[in-house]
Amino acid sequence: MRYLVCSVSGFLLMAFSTAGVAGDVEYGAYLSAECASCHRSGNDDGRQIPSIAGLAEETFLTVMRAYQSKTLENVAMQTIASGLDDEQLAALAAYFATLPTE
Ligand code: HEC
């Protein structure tokens, strides 16, 4: 299952490879390919991964910075957050804020 999801993410990455303006929603959509293997569409799918669709930008940034500083303890999210710079975080925040909650 994990491998199937990875190849879908790879496709998304190619599909969005022309988007590249920092801080904008399309760039966030492109970057979100990395998140989809766990968070799927961004909504809770019952696998104990929290929903991130529709999260307010400020909340999103606060949580991601808490993972970066290791204030929040999830190792997977610490690794992922640490690999993202401010522009990428801003783009992801903008993108996920546009997604509808279920
Ligand atoms: C390896 C699986 C995995 C990947 C990939 C992943 N996440 Fe997560 N994420 C989690 C888990 C598990 C949690 C809950 C961790 C916890 O309990 O602190 C989480 C929590 C979060 C939260 C906090 C939600 C809340 O309400 O507390 C945010 C925001 C988030 N992830 C964003 C992202 C973004 C953005 C990406 C892509 C750049 C991403 N995640 C990629 C597994 C993942």
As averages over each run of 10 residues, the pLDDT of the chain (102 residues) reads 49 44 80 92 76 94 98 96 96 95 79
Tokens standing for 27? 């760039």
CA 75 to CA 85: how far, in whole Å? 18
Query: 77-82: long-range contacts at Cβ-Cβ below 8 A with a sequence spacing of 24 or more?
Result: 80/34, 80/35
Q: What is the residue whose two structure tokens read 């190849």?
A: 7
Query: Does the Cβ of 56 fall within 6 Å of ligand 1?
Result: no
Give the pLDDT of residue 64. Answer: 98
Query: Does the Cβ of 82 fall within 6 Å of ligand 1?
Result: no
